[in-house]
Structure 1
Amino acid sequence: MRLSFLEPLYEQTGPYASVYLDTSRDSALDDADAAVELRWRRLRDTLLSEGADQDSITAAADAVGSDTDIPGMHGQAVFTAHGRLALLDELPTPPARDTAHFGTLPDTLPLIIQHSPEIPYLAAHVHYGGRHSTDATGTVRIEGEAGVWPLTKVMPGHRLHEEFPVSDWLNAAEVMGRDLEGHARRVNAEAVVVAGDVWARGILVRRLPAPLRGRVTTVEGGGESEPRRALLEHRLESLFSGRMAEHDQSLLAGFLAQRARGGASAEGLAAAVSALQRGRVKALFLNNHPKSPLRLWIGPESGQLALTEQELRSYGIQDVRRERADAALTRALVGTRAELVLVPQQHLRLHEGVGVLLRYADPQPRT
């Protein structure tokens, strides 16, 4: 996963207020707004107890609950620093619990997890309920959306709506196929999901360009799409659950290949820190342990991290602090434009939950 969406956050200097809260509006608007306000008050008290400045709390308060146009279950991630909004992101799923933290580094891992698996896809829903014949009366209506899952739950991709006479559906489906290919190409879609009437969608699928046709999965049902929510949302949830994006799978395959031959890879926190210090990490692999006790020492710059305070001070760095390892690692990844891949522990258990694919291997000593 590329972490470029976090770059604006680190353009600010800490300390940061990090807020995650449920902003779902699944009840009457007045009741929902009151519930969000109550949740925020609890988090505000937490920030005050951790020493957050009033200006940063005010900036967070201004952003909380600003997503009134997003229906259904969702949440917000709000980051502020020195009285300014550093980053605001909508969460596809409400956080398991509302949290707030004030510290030197932002608490970014819950946001990264919500962005995962970042699968680019194209969805199409063919609406038709008439006789299965091109001499029937009526129309075929098609909806399409290209986006990245699961972010399209709260940040819809480009949506298209078209309608054609049934009598012209054979020709129209071919035109639509080319149009859909263009939308798929824009997001580099790795999956094409098609729902709707079996006869009408079958004609569309057979007329899709070959590269797209080979990626098609047909699903049943789908229902009417809800504004500001992903097209075929519930079908996509089932289809993509537990799946890794092809890009991340490729990085993981590279890591495993390098590990098998003792090449450009390493495992464990010490090895990861050493590689990040030298800007050698291409991708870092992480087993998600939200309550991990691992800590690192950091300096003001992204590449200033170490296992011990003494090591960091030996580099001439005076302003050092001890922080959660995942927060320190994420800042270093963004600073060096390396990638992060979340790997389920049941899929691959990493030493200390951390592994790295290096940009290059250490040179072999001459004999």
Structure 2
Amino acid sequence: MDLTFLHPLYEHSGPWASVYVDTSRHTESMAHERHLTASAMARRLAEQGADEATCRAVENAIEELRHSSEPNGRALFARAGEIVLDPPLARPPQGDTAEWAPLPRVAPLLELAGQDPVCVVAYIDRKGADFELRSGLGREGAGSVTGRQHPVHRTASADWSERHFQLKVENTWEHNAAEIADALAVCQEETRADLLILVGDDRERRSVHERLPQRLQDRVVEASHGTGSRLLDDEVEAARAEHTRRRTEAELERFLAARAPDAEGRTGAVEGVPALVEAAREHRIDELLIRADGPDAHREVWIGEGPDQLAVRRTELRTLGEQHSWAARADDALIRSAVETDAPVLVVPAGGAAGEDAPVGGLGALLRWK
């Protein structure tokens, strides 16, 4: 999961209010219920020591959801009287929660915002393509591309002039396929889509698929619908779920293999809080793995103001020259380090690979070497 969108949460020091609100219940008394939720969340934050301005900002933000038709919920992250980030959720939280802590409580967001891949569906025909962005939060247009318009249809004649025309048709198709592939590659880069679904006739799909850059080949799925048809939500969900399953399995296999030392005695993966803290301090986390049911996730670590200022014991930070330190959850501290070094985070389902609970303790990382 790409966590670039979390950067605003680490541009300022804490403490932070982290609130998760369930908006999945739609009843006649919905407005009143959310009014009560707004008051309850503000009161809960105040009881934990949050300042009045931040409590008021959270209360007002939830009040604004009184008539919202959002299907799942919303996360709110606030400090110093301001809502800094309020992403919608892809699935409802297990109840409304509010926490006041030195770091934003972002670990639940990894599952609630969904790591189901964002995908671009490309509806391809001989003249061009329409792009549609799909995610757990819905769909929206993502642009289109129009190629050469003539000639695009074959004829049945064997006459020389017609064969010459057929060659022009072939050239037009090839040109348009290249145009679509180029536009789709740009669209993927701009949207950071994890998955590309190609929809259209067999030949057009294959022509575009073959012309996509090598870096995108493992992100492509071809759908067998005819030209112009639109994929149903459950068809897109099935493709996204299968992509997530395959990617998770592949990353877990890579992690398990990397735990074994190489010829120089170095390992490419670590697990457990002490080893992860050391890797984070050295900016060597290439991908963070989190298994939500693991006991290490809520283990206490100590943090300073910077993402690489963290330690298992408070005295270690003082040794490193950090004068100010706060206790924080290990998962939230490591996520902060991952975000600040542009490392992705993978949420691992319980059970791991081949029934093994990996990473051990629930936290692990693939490493980068300087």
The interval holding the TM-score normalised by the smaller chain is: 0.7 to 0.9
Query: Cα gap change, 1:109/1:309 in structure 2, threshold over 3 Å: closer, same or farther?
Result: same
Asked if 2 retains the 8 angstrom alpha-carbon contact of 1:296 and 1:305, the reply is: yes
Aligned counterpart, 1:357: 366
Q: For this pair of structures, how many residues does the alignment match?
A: 331
Asked if 2 retains the 8 angstrom alpha-carbon contact of 1:16 and 1:79, the reply is: yes
| 1:354 CA drift (Å) | 1.8
Distance 2:294 2:100 in 1: 17
Aligned counterpart, 2:158: none
Aligned counterpart, 1:364: none
- Cα shift readout 1:63-90 (whole Å, capped 9, x = no counterpart): 3365689755121111110112221211
Asked if 2 retains the 8 angstrom alpha-carbon contact of 1:286 and 1:354, the reply is: yes
- Cα shift readout 1:264-298 (whole Å, capped 9, x = no counterpart): 32221111011111222222222123875411122
Query: Cα gap change, 1:22/1:115 in structure 2, threshold over 3 Å: closer, same or farther?
Result: closer
AA in 2 matched with 1:22: D
SS of alignment partner, residue 239 of structure 1: helix
- Cα shift readout 1:195-215 (whole Å, capped 9, x = no counterpart): 7xxxx7557646645356983
Asked if 2 retains the 8 angstrom alpha-carbon contact of 1:56 and 1:81, the reply is: yes
Distance 1:70 1:160 in 2: 31
SS of alignment partner, residue 91 of structure 1: coil
AA in 1 matched with 2:292: N
SS of alignment partner, residue 77 of structure 1: strand
Asked if 1 retains the 8 angstrom alpha-carbon contact of 2:280 and 2:337, the reply is: yes
From 151, 154, 158, give the equivalent of 2:142: 158
Aligned counterpart, 1:267: 271
SS of alignment partner, residue 97 of structure 1: coil
Distance 2:250 2:114 in 1: 15
Aligned counterpart, 2:328: 323
Asked whether 1:277 is paired with 2:275, we answer no
The gaps in structure 1 that reach 5 residues or longer are: 127-141, 163-167, 226-230, 362-367
Asked if 2 retains the 8 angstrom alpha-carbon contact of 1:194 and 1:201, the reply is: no
Aligned counterpart, 2:160: none
| 1:110 CA drift (Å) | 1.5
Distance 1:95 1:66 in 2: 19
Query: Cα gap change, 1:202/1:258 in structure 2, threshold over 3 Å: closer, same or farther?
Result: closer
SS of alignment partner, residue 117 of structure 1: coil
Aligned counterpart, 1:311: 316
Equivalent residues in 2 for 1:1-367, closer than 5 Å: 1-24=1-24, 26=26, 31-64=29-62, 66=64, 71=69, 73-117=71-115, 119-123=117-121, 144-147=131-134, 149-150=135-136, 153-154=137-138, 156=140, 158=142, 181-182=181-182, 184-186=184-186, 187=188, 191-193=195-197, 205=205, 208-211=208-211, 215-218=220-223, 232-241=232-241, 243-244=243-244, 252=252, 254-262=254-262, 263-289=267-293, 292-348=297-353, 349-360=358-369
SS of alignment partner, residue 89 of structure 1: coil
Q: Percent identity at matched positions? A: 28
Distance 2:341 2:33 in 1: 40
Asked if 1 retains the 8 angstrom alpha-carbon contact of 2:205 and 2:222, the reply is: no
- Cα shift readout 1:23-44 (whole Å, capped 9, x = no counterpart): 347556xx44333333323222
Distance 1:146 1:182 in 2: 17
Query: Cα gap change, 1:251/1:123 in structure 2, threshold over 3 Å: closer, same or farther?
Result: same
TM normalised by structure 1 equals 0.73
Asked if 2 retains the 8 angstrom alpha-carbon contact of 1:60 and 1:85, the reply is: yes
SS of alignment partner, residue 334 of structure 1: helix
- Cα shift readout 1:90-128 (whole Å, capped 9, x = no counterpart): 1122212221101111100112223442524222579xx
Asked if 2 retains the 8 angstrom alpha-carbon contact of 1:25 and 1:71, the reply is: no
AA in 2 matched with 1:50: Q
Distance 1:324 1:242 in 2: 32
Question: What RMSD over aligned residues (CA atoms) do the two structures have, in Å?
Answer: 4.1
SS of alignment partner, residue 312 of structure 1: helix
| 1:300 CA drift (Å) | 2.4
Distance 1:339 1:125 in 2: 29
- Cα shift readout 1:198-237 (whole Å, capped 9, x = no counterpart): xx755764664535698334378xxx98xxxxx7433322
